[in-house]
Structure formats: C-alpha cells, structure tokens
Amino acid sequence: MNKNLLLSICLILVVTFGFAQTKEELEAQKAEKQAQADKFKAEADALQAQIDALPGWKVGAFGTIGGSLSNFNNWYAQGAPNNQSGTIGITTNAFANLIKEKFFWRNSLNTNFNWTKLDNKDIDTDSDKFEPTTDVFNINSLYGRKLSEKWAVSGMLEYRTTVLNNFNDPGYLDLGIGFTWTPITDMVVVIHPANYNFVFSSGDTVFDSSMGAKIVADYTRQIGKVNFKTNFSTFQSYEDSNLSNWTWINSFAYTLWKGIGVGFDFGLRSNRQEAANFQGTSLEDADNKIQSYYTVGLSYNFSN
C-alpha cells in the first residue's frame, strides 16, 4: 500500500513538473514570436510612411452607418401604444489628393444624411415615411504651387448645400486665392484673404453674397485601425460681420474586422443668415444659436 501511494505521488509530481515546464516553454516561445511580430510591424509601418511620402495620387474613404427600427402594438405604458419608428444615418468622408514635387491638388467630399420616421398608427395626420432630418453636402478642391516644403500659393473652390431638401437653396460657393500651409504631414491650413462667398437662394430672402477671407484647417489621418478627420472652415465677410459663418466637422472610425467597425461623427456650425431665414426675421434680430448634429453607428473603411 505504501509503495503504491509513493508511486502515485511520484507520478503526480512528474506530470505536474512536466506540465509546468511545458507552459513556461510555450510562454517563452510566445514572447519571442511577439517580439518578432512587433519588429516586423514597426518595419512595415516605416515602409508605409515612405510609400505615403511618395508623389502621386492618394485616395481613401470611410463612412458611418447608424440606424434603428422599432414597432409597438398595444404598448399602453406610452402615449402612442401603436407606433412604428426608426432612424437611418449615413456619413461619407472621401479624399483624392495628387502630390507632386512642385504642386498639389487636394480634393475632399463630406456628406451626412439622416432620415427619421415616427408613425402613430392610431391617427392619420402624421407621416408614415422616413423624413430627412440631417442634410449635409460639402465638396472642396484645393490647388497649390509650392514655394517651399511647407508653403504654397493656392486657389480653392468649396461648395456647401443640402441635397435631400431645398437643393442649392441656400447653396454656398467659395472661390478664393491666397496661401496654403502644411506644417506637418496630413495637416493642411488654407489662408485666402481674397475670397468671394456666393450665396444662392430663391425668392426674397436674407441671404447675400460678399467678399471676405476664407480660412480652412483640415487634418485627415489613419493610424492603425483608427481613421479620423477634423475640418474647420470659416468665412469672414469684409462687408458685414452678419454674413460671416463657420463649420466644424469631425469624423472617427475604428476598424474591428475587414474594414467594418464603429464610427462617430459630429458637426457644429454658426450661420446667422440661416438662422434669420428660418426664424423669418432680420439678420440683426436673429437668434443665432450654434447648430449641431452627431451620428453613431457601424463604420466601413473603403480603403481596405
């Protein structure tokens, strides 16, 4: 009996020691492989940075899709027990840039469209369709001749409007010349003191075109699985400060699997002409509150 017990204890110790040794060996192998993977990733990132620095066309796009749908029947705890509701939101950020030794041509597109539905099935006076609620369309084209590594003489066209409702009513077209500063890679600052802001609208409205200065700051970057873009655009009128406006748009996307991930977009805007037109009052009497929107949902990186 004692011999059997002693043999059993020895066998358990041998198995335990062998397992522990194997686990330590596997962990050591894993650490070695991880170090090699980190080294190769750093080398690949360095090569990609060299590729990105080469002259030629660079294109990319990412966007966010957010939405929800719901249907209630006889849900008496709420004011409308029988209803259908839903939201659908789509944003797009795309760019196509041509970078040469002596000049550049940068083009970008930003859109944000959102539809909302709230149908109370017990009444006939509301809509049972998805109605547009967010409507943003912005396209920008910038051409520059390089004076140095960081400065260039440039000309820019920027057009902003709505598409789903009141296309080009209002619509804004900026045409200007000046200088472009690129302090770091992927960051572009446009300074155009000679810019004309064309404003298109129908009927007798408060909208008016004017001469002024245009400033745009854009930073678009992809770091690993993260895509982000921030763009600030402002027009400062020389004729009347009430004709000035600014817009700040931000987009973030994190890729989880094969280009699919999660995204978040938000925007801010100040435009007294739009506020006065909506409120039916003069520019001086308009309550120019900050406009804003945001969209959260699935994202897709079209560059993958």
pLDDT tens column, 20-74: 557 677 777 777 778 777 777 677 666 666 666 566 788 888 888 877 778 888 7
Integer Cα distance of 31 and 115 in angstroms: 50
Residues 144 and 72 in one domain: yes
- Judgement on whether residues 48 and 76 belong to the same structural domain of the protein: no
By the 8 A CB rule, do 221 and 230 touch? no
Q: How many domains is the chain built from?
A: 2
- Whether 42 and 111 share a structural domain: no
CA-based torsion, 295, 299, 302, 303: positive or negative = positive
Q: Which residue has the higher pLDDT, 234 or 120?
A: 234
Domain boundary, last residue among 37, 54, 71: 54
35 and 146 co-located in one domain: no
Are 235 and 281 a contacting pair, CB within 8 Å? Answer: no
Residue 46 pLDDT = 66
Q: Annotate 35-59 with three-state secondary structure.
A: HHHHHHHHHHHHHHHHHHHCCEEEE
Domain around 262: 59-301
Confidence at 205, pLDDT banded by 50, 70, 90: confident
**10 or 25, greater pLDDT:** 25
Strand ranges for the chain from DSSP E: 56-72, 83-99, 103-120, 131-146, 151-161, 171-181, 187-200, 210-223, 226-237, 245-257, 260-271, 291-301
- Tell me what pLDDT residue 198 has: 95
Question: pLDDT at position 55, please?
Answer: 62
Question: What is the reported pLDDT for 71?
Answer: 85
* pLDDT over 70 at 97, yes or no: yes
Q: Each residue of 260-293: pLDDT tens digit?
A: 888 888 899 999 999 999 899 999 999 999 999 8
CA angle (92, 107, 111) in 5-degree steps = 20
- Look at residues 225, 2, 251 and name the one whose alpha carbon lies nearest to residue 109: 251
Q: Which pLDDT belongs to residue 236? A: 97
Q: Is the pLDDT of residue 99 over 80?
A: yes
28 and 176: one domain?
no
pLDDT at 23: 64
Residue 284 is given by DSSP the state T
pLDDT at 11: 62
Q: Is the pLDDT of residue 114 over 60?
A: yes
Contact 110, 231 (CB under 8 A): yes
Q: 30, 54, 78 — which closes off a domain?
A: 54
- Rounded to an integer, what distance in angstroms lies between the CA atom of residue 143 and that of residue 154? 5
168 vs 172: CA distance, rounded Å: 8
Predicted local confidence at residue 27, as pLDDT: 76
Q: What is the CATH number of the domain that holds 135?
A: 2.40.160
Say whether both 35 and 2 belong to one domain. Answer: yes
Do 208 and 165 have their domain in common?
yes
Mean pLDDT of 2-13: 63
Closest CA to 194 of 209, 180, 177, 217: 177
> In angstroms, rounded to a whole number, what is the distance separating the alpha carbons of residues 18 and 147?
70
CA distances, 46 to each of 54, 124, 223 (Å): 13, 62, 12
HSE (CB half, 13 Å, CA atoms) of 271?
23
The answer to whether the beta carbons of residues 91 and 114 sit under 8 Å apart is no
Is this prediction's pTM over 0.85?
no
Q: Which ranges in 92-250 belong to alpha helices (H)?
A: none
Do residues 150 and 262 both lie within one domain?
A: yes
Q: How far apart are CA 290 and CA 268, in angstroms?
A: 7
Same domain, 48 and 102: no
pLDDT tier, 14 (very low <50, low <70, confident <90, very high otherwise): low
Same domain, 35 and 64: no
Mean pLDDT of 243-254: 92
Summarize pLDDT for 73-96 with one digit per residue, the tens: 877 777 788 888 888 888 888 999
Mean residue pLDDT across the chain: 85
Task: Name the amino acid, one letter, at 235.
Answer: F
Q: What is the pLDDT of residues 137-176, one digit of tens each?
A: 999 999 999 999 999 999 999 999 989 888 888 899 999 9
Q: Is the CB of residue 197 less than 8 Å from the CB of residue 172? A: yes
- Proportion of the chain above pLDDT 90, given as a percent: 40
Q: Which SS3 state, helix, strand or coil, does residue 182 take?
A: coil
Residue 296 and residue 226 share a domain: yes
**198 and 230 share one domain:** yes
Q: Are 138 and 269 in contact (CB under 8 A)?
A: no
DSSP 2: H
Token code pair at residue 90: 């789509």
